[in-house]
């Protein structure tokens, strides 16, 4: 009878016992997959991923002023999470009375 120990999400080990050769081979395959996923996870943790950050200075000099809030607009850059395409635009960092972001967009 083969005994395998698996790690559950609550981090308490679970012992699985089986005499079936097929189940035993499945457990062995799962153990190998788990080891590979652990290696991948460790390598991803070791890789430093930098998230796009907002920049306050525009590439063209002075930032436009929001006519509603009378503050300079922020120059935002980054990469779309959905498409992976880069973006860059001016946006007002102030909110409207209803809690939504300021809709002002300067002309290009």
Specify the pLDDT at position 1. 46
* pTM attached to this predicted model: 0.42
Specify the pLDDT at position 67. 94
Q: How far lies 46's CA from each of 38, 49, 52, 53, 56, in Å? A: 12, 9, 19, 21, 30
Specify the pLDDT at position 91. 92
Specify the pLDDT at position 13. 64
Tokens representing 34 are: 């788990």
Query: Which segments of the chain have a pLDDT < 70?
Result: 1-13, 48-60
Specify the pLDDT at position 57. 44
């Amino acid at each position: 009878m083969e005994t395998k120990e698996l790690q559950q999400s609550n981090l308490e080990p679970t012992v699985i016992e089986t005499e079936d050769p097929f189940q035993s081979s499945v457990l062995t395959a799962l153990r190998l997959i788990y080891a590979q996923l652990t290696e991948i996870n460790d390598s991803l943790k070791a890789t430093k991923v930098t998230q796009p950050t907002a920049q306050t200075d525009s590439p063209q000099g002075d930032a436009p002023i929001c006519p509603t809030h009378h503050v300079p607009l922020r120059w935002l850059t980054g990469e779309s999470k959905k498409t992976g395409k880069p973006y860059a635009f001016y946006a007002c960092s102030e909110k409207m009375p209803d809690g939504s972001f300021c809709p002002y967009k300067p002309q290009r």
